[in-house]
């Protein structure tokens, strides 16, 4: 009942390098410092799905050789998490079917507002984006994976985190774009084999966790391993990775890990 995770993107909203910046990280030749906008690919024996479609989604799919997509989950409707939405149409064309899209009612409305042509003018042509919108109101199934949504604060907004269960095991908790992890989310994720967690930078930020907050949340959730994402250009991979506690890592674009094996 294992699954594979591929970090399609691990960067913040501007990506790294940042336009017009000549800081050490933006000029770094370490490929782990080159971060496209945050998105995750989950592959199980019965379903392949993504969490968010970043503006870089097309490039991420080409880089990773992705040829199958069975569903898409969304955390919130901010630009850096949804603007690759239309690039899913290639998967509709290849497999000649609709793609189920899962999101909270508020996020689904945001998707509708941005991509009205997909929702209000359903397409029949094979090479157009065809979706099956599914509003999330509680736990749901994708094949043999049970997905438990949890609410997370993102400044004055609310995002959706996801906890993935297979075979009675709590395999993955995915919490991006959050300024904290409330008690209900800690409980839902507690003891997960892998925790993937928003961590912008060292200094505080009003809508994202910094390293101190993220590591505190990781200790409360007590996963086997933690991977930090949504990193800005103030974070050097080589410098920061070596300073993290045992079991905690910086994710990077293209990293693939197996969970539950």
Q: How confident is the model at residue 15 (pLDDT cuts 50, 70, 90)?
A: very high
Annotated domain spans of the chain:
3-259
**pLDDT tens per residue across span 148-182:** 999 999 999 999 999 999 999 999 999 999 999 99
**pLDDT tens per residue across span 200-242:** 999 999 999 999 999 999 999 999 999 999 999 999 999 999 9
Q: How confident is the model at residue 39 (pLDDT cuts 50, 70, 90)?
A: very high
CATH classification number, 3-259, choose in 3.30.479.30, 2.60.120.10, 3.60.15.10, 3.40.50.720? 3.60.15.10
Sign of CA dihedral 10, 14, 18, 23: negative
Q: How much is the pLDDT for 124? A: 74
CA distance 191 to 172: 9
Average model confidence (pLDDT) for the chain?
A: 97
- Decide: 202 and 215 in contact? Cβ < 8 Å: no
């Amino acid at each position: 009942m294992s699954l594979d995770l591929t970090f399609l993107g691990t960067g913040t909203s501007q990506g790294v390098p940042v336009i017009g910046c000549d800081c050490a990280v933006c000029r770094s030749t370490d490929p782990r410092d080159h971060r496209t906008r945050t998105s995750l690919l989950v592959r199980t024996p019965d379903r392949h799905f993504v969490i968010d479609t970043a503006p870089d989604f097309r490039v991420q799919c080409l880089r990773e050789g992705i040829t199958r997509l069975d569903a898409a989950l969304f955390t919130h409707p901010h630009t850096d998490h949804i603007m690759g939405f239309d690039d899913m149409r290639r998967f509709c064309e290849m497999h000649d079917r609709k793609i189920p899209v899962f999101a909270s009612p508020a996020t689904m409305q945001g998707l509708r507002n941005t991509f009205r042509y997909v929702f209000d003018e359903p397409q029949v042509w094979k090479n157009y984006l065809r979706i099956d919108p599914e509003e999330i109101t509680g736990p749901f199934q994708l094949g043999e994976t049970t997905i438990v949504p949890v609410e997370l604060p993102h400044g004055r907004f609310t995002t959706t985190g996801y906890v993935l269960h297979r075979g009675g095991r709590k395999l993955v908790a995915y919490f991006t774009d959050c300024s904290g992890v409330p008690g209900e989310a800690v409980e839902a994720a507690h003891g997960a084999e892998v925790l993937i967690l928003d961590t912008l930078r060292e200094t505080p930020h009003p809508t994202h966790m910094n390293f101190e907050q993220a590591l505190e949340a990781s200790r409360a959730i007590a996963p086997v391993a933690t991977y930090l994402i949504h990193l800005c250009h103030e974070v050097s991979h080589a410098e920061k990775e070596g300073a993290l506690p045992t079991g905690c890592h910086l994710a990077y674009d293209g990293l693939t890990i197996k969970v539950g094996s």
